[in-house]
């Protein structure tokens, strides 16, 4: 005897099978981590202890997915290309490594870690933009402040720079994008390190606000 199955149940089974097949072909999630710049210290080591952070980030970047700009007011949030840790922590970790390399100081505590030593200066940041266009460039805009262990800031400044993120193939777009993120943090770290060196070597005349002026190469 033939058994007639309801059409609705058959269609549901087909749709479920197609959905499972589609899931089986989803691309693998790729995880990315920012990297400190290559050690390139100049000048004598600085005898100072620092705490770095916190850093305020735009809420649009407070997610694990890498955010890119898509033109106009549109952004892309990529589910398959994600940060290995929260971007704020990645940013501060690399900035701390870069400043440690530039100043040659081994007494640097990076937020949220509490310093186990007496701090000379605190570095805090307000990141206004840290994103870009895949296959094109990344822009970092940030305000920074240096303050003594207690009290108000004695040096403040701003940083704005765009770094090329060109890739040989579309498959390499995100590798180039992340490398550009890292390079920008390295440039910011060198700026802050230079100001710290000025504060240590010439404390009487280094309280004026500073602004980073991009070079022709950086502005391209």
Per-residue model confidence (pLDDT) at position 36:
96
Per-residue model confidence (pLDDT) at position 1:
53
Question: For each successive 10 residues of the chain (220 residues), what is the average pLDDT?
Answer: 51 50 74 90 86 96 95 91 97 98 95 93 98 96 96 96 94 96 98 95 61 37
Run of H or E including 161: strand 155-164
Per-residue model confidence (pLDDT) at position 213:
37
CB 53 within 8 A of CB 110: yes
- Joined together, the tokens standing for residue 91 give 């940013």
Per-residue model confidence (pLDDT) at position 220:
34
Enumerate domains of the chain plus CATH numbers.
30-219 (3.40.50.10610)
Per-residue model confidence (pLDDT) at position 64:
96
Question: Which residue reads 């390079």 in tokens?
Answer: 183
CA distances 216 to 33, 219, 220, Å, are: 28, 5, 6
Total Cβ atoms within 10 A of residue 70: 10
Q: Which residues contact 90 (CB under 8 A, 6 or more apart)?
A: 33, 34, 83, 84
Q: Residue 218, Cα to own-chain centre: how many angstroms?
A: 17
Per-residue model confidence (pLDDT) at position 71:
81
pTM for this prediction: 0.81
């Amino acid at each position: 005897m033939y058994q007639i199955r309801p059409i609705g149940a058959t269609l549901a089974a087909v749709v479920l099978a197609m959905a499972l097949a589609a899931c089986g072909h989803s691309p693998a999630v790729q995880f990315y981590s920012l990297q400190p710049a290559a050690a390139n210290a100049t000048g004598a080591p600085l005898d100072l202890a620092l705490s770095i952070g916190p850093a305020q980030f735009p809420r649009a970047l407070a997610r694990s997915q890498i955010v890119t700009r898509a033109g106009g007011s549109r952004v892309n949030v990529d589910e398959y290309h994600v940060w290995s840790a929260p971007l704020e922590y990645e940013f501060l970790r690399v900035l701390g490594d870069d400043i440690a390399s530039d100043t040659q100081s081994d007494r640097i505590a990076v937020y949220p870690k509490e310093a186990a030593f007496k701090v000379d200066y605190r570095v805090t940041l307000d990141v206004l933009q840290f994103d870009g266009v895949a296959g094109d460039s990344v822009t970092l805009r940030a305000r920074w402040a240096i303050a003594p262990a207690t009290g108000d800031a004695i040096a403040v400044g701003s940083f704005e720079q765009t770094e090329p993120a060109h890739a040989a193939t579309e498959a390499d777009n995100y590798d180039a994008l992340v490398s550009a993120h890292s390079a920008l943090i390295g440039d910011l770290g060198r700026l802050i390190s230079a100001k710290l060196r000025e504060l240590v070597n010439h404390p009487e005349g280094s309280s004026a606000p500073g602004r980073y002026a991009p070079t022709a190469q950086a502005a391209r």
